């Protein structure tokens, strides 16, 4: 009788960075998002400042991909989009004449949309609730605001008057990311100061959709995490 050899196939979706893909990877991802949303308005509009901002953004997308995506093919897709997006930013920086095409911004929006979905999936997967997973939910919230900001930027590259900013806001261009991030999070959190408003019909639709998400997401996040925590407590052998 021939001995049977147990052949164990190597998993194709094994993580490349075991430390980073644990729940604590969500905390590092959140740190990148806070860095971008908080310090973008402080970065000067020099060429070095814009390139530095693009690099930080690329690192944020990369960290989000390896922290939340388990399928290697999808992770490679996001990493490839990140590299292409950073390359496109550099090309547009040194050749502004092709910046109106919007392909660099479109790649940003595509990469962030994928990372948003994967962050939510990773945060709400079955298992015990930890503080890192709560931070993952916060990271998804911030990432939604950033995704909408660059969606506004993509629109304003075609329609520069899509969003009206008060002329008293000086020192920056209308389509500058810091202004659009400010407008996006003001819309997401339903905080308005009357210094910016959507004019174009697509901008208004985007603003209404973002405002609805901003109102519904926190309650859904809290209810889901609390429900998962209660379910983990009631399941034998599962630590809350």
Per-residue pLDDT of 122-138, as tens digits, reads: 888 887 787 878 888 88
CB proximity list for 200: less than 8 A, separation 6 or greater: 155, 159, 161, 162, 163
Q: Which two tokens stand for residue 173?
A: 């261009």
User: 60 - beta bridge partners?
Assistant: none
Place of tokens 């995506």: 69
In this prediction, residue 172 carries a pLDDT of 52
Q: Rounded mean pLDDT of the chain?
A: 78
In this prediction, residue 147 carries a pLDDT of 93
In a domain, 8, yes or no: no
Q: Which two tokens stand for residue 92?
A: 């547009």
DSSP sequence for 60-99: HHHHHHHHH---HHHHHHHHHHHHHHHHHHHHHHH-GGGG
Coil, helix or strand for 151?
A: helix
In a domain, 10, yes or no: no
In a domain, 16, yes or no: no
Cα 88 versus chain centre, distance: 18
In this prediction, residue 217 carries a pLDDT of 94
In a domain, 131, yes or no: yes
Q: Which two tokens stand for residue 219?
A: 């309650």
In a domain, 114, yes or no: yes
Q: Which domain holds residue 59?
A: 24-232
Count: domains in the chain? 1
Q: Which of 118, 116, 159, 115 is nearest to 141 (CA)?
A: 116
In this prediction, residue 95 carries a pLDDT of 76
In a domain, 224, yes or no: yes
pTM of this prediction exceeds 0.85: no
In this prediction, residue 97 carries a pLDDT of 66
Give pLDDT < 70 ranges for the chain: 1-25, 40-45, 96-101, 168-175, 235-240
User: 163 - beta bridge partners?
Assistant: 198
pLDDT in tens, 107-116: 888 888 888 9
In a domain, 90, yes or no: yes
In this prediction, residue 111 carries a pLDDT of 84
In a domain, 13, yes or no: no
Q: What is the CA radius of gyration of the chain?
A: 20
Say how far apart CA 29 and CA 18 lie, in whole Å.
Answer: 15
Residue 52, Ramachandran bin (φ over 0: left; ψ between -120 and 50: alpha; else beta) = alpha
Q: Taking a C-beta distance cutoff of 8 angstroms, is the pair 112, 57 a contact?
A: no
Q: Which two tokens stand for residue 226?
A: 């609390």
């Amino acid at each position: 009788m021939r001995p049977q050899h147990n052949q164990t196939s190597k998993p194709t979706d094994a993580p490349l960075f075991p430390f980073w893909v644990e729940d604590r990877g969500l905390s590092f991802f959140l740190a990148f998002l806070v860095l971008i949303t908080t310090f973008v308005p402080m970065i000067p509009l020099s060429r070095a400042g814009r390139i530095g901002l693009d690099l930080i953004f690329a690192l944020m997308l990369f960290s989000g991909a390896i922290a939340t995506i388990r399928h290697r093919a999808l992770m490679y897709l996001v990493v490839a989009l990140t590299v292409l997006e950073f390359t496109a930013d550099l090309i547009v920086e040194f050749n502004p004449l092709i910046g109106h095409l919007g392909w660099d911004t479109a790649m940003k929006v595509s990469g962030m949309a994928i990372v948003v979905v994967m962050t939510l999936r990773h945060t709400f997967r079955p298992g015990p609730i930890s503080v890192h997973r709560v931070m993952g939910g916060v990271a998804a919230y911030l990432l939604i605001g950033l995704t909408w900001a660059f969606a506004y930027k993509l629109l304003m590259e075609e329609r520069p008057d899509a969003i009206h900013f008060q002329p008293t806001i000086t020192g920056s261009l209308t389509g500058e990311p810091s202004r659009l991030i400010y407008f996006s999070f003001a819309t997401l959190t339903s905080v308005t100061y009357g210094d910016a408003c959507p004019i174009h019909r697509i901008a208004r639709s985007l603003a209404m959709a973002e405002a609805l998400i901003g109102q519904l997401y926190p309650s859904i996040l809290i209810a889901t995490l609390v429900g998962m925590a209660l379910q983990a407590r009631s399941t034998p052998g599962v630590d809350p």
